[in-house]
Amino acid sequence: MENANFITSAFKHQTSEIIPRPVIDLKENEDDRRILIVDDEAPVRALFADFLAEKYICITAASSDEALTHMTEAAYAVVISDMQMPGRNGVELLREIRSRYPDTAVIMVSGTDRPQRIRDALQVGAFDYLIKPCELDVLALSVERALERRSLTLTARRYRADLERQNVELAARKTELERLQAQIVHSEKMASLGQLAAGIAHELNNPAGFIYGNMDLLQEYTSKMERVLAIYDRAVLPPDVAAEVKATKAQISYDVLLSEWQSMIADCRDGAGRIRDVVQNLRLFSRLDEAEFKMVDLHEGIDSTLRLLSRYYGSGRIGLVRDYGQLPQVNCFPGQLNQVWMNLLVNAAQATGGEGEVRISSRVEGTAVVVVISDNGCGIPADILKKIFDPFFTTKPVGEGTGLGLSIVYGIIEKHGGTITAESQVGVGSKVTISIPISTPNGFVMTPNEVSGLQ
């Protein structure tokens, strides 16, 4: 028994240095005070139970099977088990407990002091290994240490679960912050572009008006000049003057000039008209003077956006179908909805590859206006479709897309109290459905910062 005395004395020496030990409130939970004592010798069971009963709830069992039956009926913080028992021995019971009840600490007690037996028990998962006959104070100390370790393990697990939950919340907040940041960046960019467009439109408006107005006068004056020149052509001139006039007409290609004069004026008048239309569309699209909700015609905004997208829809390669219903005016931020139409119509045109059909339909459903923009383009796979409104998600090559467009569209529609959904089938096409309340929804209030952020 020299090894037993050595192990016991070493254990005493080690535990005597652990002062002070953390104090655990064992009254908080009965499960943390319940101990199961397993031994085939009744005197040993009674000795351990009587000694530990002052601080703990002690239950005894004469075999491994009886112990497992007890454990199915109640939770135990610590199991004190003998190594040698009829039927299942202590190691088999230890394996079963570690497998089914990993939060339960197991202290093995045995009269065998072979180091290999001790190592085997500890490797299987025993918290401690005591040698019979063991001092009761040592047993109590081992139980206390087992409970401390169990408490620390459970606390660490709760902290870990808490940290994981907080990490999920932080990830969600980070995503929301990225979305808000993207919206702010996009709003600032659109505000700058809107101010630039409004400034250009303002500067071009007057000179474009002068040119367009003067072209009408020029055409009228040119007709009058042609009447005078026709009279001169019929006049009889002296031979030398007639010869000079003939030479001059040949030199300046008088006949060609006269025939193309009106055509050139008509072309200039048409170009001036186009400049005037672009200026008007820029002013209509920017709408910087509309910093609050107002009643507008959605069809007017869609049509002005289409005119600005003439490079897609003016070539004739993309068929454009307008299936407009009878819509009332809608209370909204017109400039913001124009950004929505711009993003969706550009995406629809690009999805067709420049050749296909884009359809715009509108209708009234209850108290909302519904606008549907569909195309017969390449379509979007299902796994990508659910991500298209996420900030920074894009299927375009690097440098061609930021992944902000549709997330901003989603934010604008959401701010208007509406909804936006997308449907798509690869090889068939895509459809985006937007629903916007005709009037401001009840309880829908935007702060001054949100209003300025949308401008």
Cα distances (Å, whole numbers) of residue 18 to 14, 128, 303? 7, 16, 82
In terms of Cα–Cα distance, which of 10, 49, 18, 34 is closest to 131? 10
Question: What pLDDT, on the 0 to 100 scale, is given for residue 288?
Answer: 45
Question: What pLDDT, on the 0 to 100 scale, is given for residue 1?
Answer: 40
DSSP-derived pairing of the beta strands 128-131 and 78-82: unpaired
Which residues, 6 or more positions from 342, have their beta carbon under 8 angstroms from its beta carbon? 285, 305, 308, 309
Low-confidence ranges of the chain (pLDDT < 70): 1-29, 183, 186-198, 201-202, 277, 280-293, 391-405, 440-455
Question: What pLDDT, on the 0 to 100 scale, is given for residue 436?
Answer: 92
Question: What pLDDT, on the 0 to 100 scale, is given for residue 166?
Answer: 92
Q: Which residues of 395-404 are buried (b: 16+ CB within 10 A; e: fewer)?
A: eeeeeeebbb
Which pTM was predicted? 0.42
CA pair distance 311, 354, nearest whole angstrom = 10
CA pair distance 280, 275, nearest whole angstrom = 9
H helical segments located in 235-297: 239-252, 254-286
Question: What pLDDT, on the 0 to 100 scale, is given for residue 392?
Answer: 58
CA pair distance 250, 114, nearest whole angstrom = 128
Question: What pLDDT, on the 0 to 100 scale, is given for residue 22?
Answer: 40
CA pair distance 130, 111, nearest whole angstrom = 8
- Which residue in the block uniquely carries the two structure tokens 């037996």? 117
Structural tokens at position 201: 């439109």
Question: What pLDDT, on the 0 to 100 scale, is given for residue 364?
Answer: 93
CA pair distance 320, 366, nearest whole angstrom = 27
Evaluate whether 298 touches 369 at the Cβ level (below 8 Å): yes
Q: Among 3.30.70.1230, 3.90.1150.10, 3.40.50.2300, 3.40.50.720, what is the CATH number of 2-134?
A: 3.40.50.2300
CA pair distance 86, 61, nearest whole angstrom = 12
Domain 289-455 fold is Heat Shock Protein 90 (3.30.565)
Question: What pLDDT, on the 0 to 100 scale, is given for residue 190?
Answer: 60
In terms of Cα–Cα distance, which of 24, 17, 14, 19 is closest to 153? 24
Question: What pLDDT, on the 0 to 100 scale, is given for residue 401?
Answer: 46
Please give the DSSP secondary-structure letter assigned to residue 332: E
Where are the chain's structural domains?
2-134, 175-286, 289-455
